[in-house]
Amino acid sequence: MDWSNCFIDANVFIRHLAQDNKLHADLATKVFDDLAEGKRSAKINTLLLHEVIYVLEKVYGFPRSKIANAIRKLLELVTLEVVDLDKQSVFNALEDYTEHTSIDFPDCIYRQIALNENLKIITFDQHFKKFGIQPFTG
């Protein structure tokens, strides 16, 4: 499967920055190494950044300065782009959110971005299988 152009899910950022799960942290770090080396390009959005910041601060207890510095460093990668959605795509995400009660709204947004941009989603979440998206294994 070609993962050279993708949307990166929040859990991949979190595994990379927290280094709390050896297998996932190694895979996540490889994704960002590939971005730094120009072997892959990726997109994210500001909702994803909110999710990452919230989890790192509230769950992991990281100080704001450490979070901000880590995210700044990743955002400096020229192969990482921040994108957003048009109104119709938000309506589509709301439909997914209503239809798939075990999938949270941010993930529905990420799916719409991936559909609009023709991207694979790099994620470790199993619930994406409901959308036909397999978890990333490298």
CATH classification of the domain holding 69: 3.40.50.1010
d(CA 48, CA 32): 16
Mean pLDDT for all residues in the chain: 92
pLDDT tens profile 120-130: 999 998 877 78
Provide the domain limits for residue 58.
Answer: 5-130
Both tokens assigned to 33: 């190494």
Count of domains observed in the chain: 1
Tell whether 35 is covered by a domain. yes
Within a domain: residue 42?
yes
Is residue 135 one of the residues assigned to a domain?
no
The pLDDT of residue 26 is 96
Is 136 contained in some domain?
no
Phi, psi of 47 (to 5 degrees): -60, -40
In tens, the pLDDT along 75-108 reads: 999 999 999 999 999 999 999 999 998 899 999 9
Long-range pairs for 55-60 at CB < 8 Å and ≥24 separation?
Answer: 55/10, 55/14, 56/14, 56/17, 56/18, 60/18, 60/20
